[in-house]
A and B are shown apart, each in its own frame.
Chain A
Amino acid sequence: AQKVTQAQTEISVVEKEDVTLDCVYETRDTTYYLFWYKQPPSGELVFLIRRNSFDEQNEISGRYSWNFQKSTSSFNFTITASQVVDSAVYFCALSEAVTGANSKLTFGKGITLSVRP
């Protein structure tokens, strides 16, 4: 069975600090997909990134970057120079590469990030 662990439950930083959100996953599949979603205080779920298991290149998008390491089964998310607008709950999620039956997305419990001015 697949599992996602986000060991950090709450993180508080001061604006402009860098912060890393950790995600560790478990799966028996060799082909799988990892995701990060953001849930701001307004409640909607916002897609941030999707990464497949064969692409271990780090990804950078503006102030956001992701470090995928299969050796440690981790997919960590770093926000550089954090801003108040980054305050949200961040979810990491995992899906095995199947369609049809057993096509399920498993979420971690989320990390609440508070960025103080």
Chain B
Amino acid sequence: NAGVTQTPKFQVLKTGQGMTLQCAQDMNHEYMSWYRQDPGMGLRLIHYSVGAGITDQGEVPNGYNVSRSTTEDFPLRLLSAAPSQTSVYFCASSYRGSDETQYFGPGTRLLVL
């Protein structure tokens, strides 16, 4: 099993550009989530999904879109990047919910100029 994979590992964007951060898992997990990590702020939940076709907002959803068309994939879309979205993004998955051990991807470091 590859576990949770994220691409790209690093990305530089200009303000206003859009991009999609990819996340995939091969563990047949129903629950997937996206976090951003900023210095001194810990990890904050952006969006999460409890199964294909079902998504919901977390603590800091503004500026991000998600969809979940398959169990395996949970992409995070930035429609118009802003410097405030410079961060490290982690995708995570677990079997059913957030009360179970989350398996994290390696992270994507995003710099918005």
Contacts and interface: CB of A to CB of B under 8 A. Distances in A.
Given A50-B101, A99-B96, A104 B58 contact: yes
B22 to A, nearest CB: 17
20 contacts: A6-B42, A33-B99, A35-B102, A43-B107, A44-B104, A47-B102, A50-B100, A50-B101, A95-B99, A96-B99, A98-B97, A99-B50, A99-B99, A100-B50, A101-B50, A103-B99, A104-B48, A107-B42, A109-B42, A110-B42
Interface of A: 6, 9, 32-33, 35, 37, 43-45, 47, 50, 91, 93, 95-110
A38 B103 CA distance: 12
Contacts of A104: 45, 48, 58-59, 98
In the complex, which range does the number of interface residues on chain B fall in? 20 to 34
Contacts of B40: 9, 109
A81 B92 CA distance: 31
Interface of B: 31, 33, 35, 40-45, 48, 50, 56, 58-59, 88, 90, 92, 96-104, 106-107
Given A43-B88, A98-B97, A105 B56 contact: no
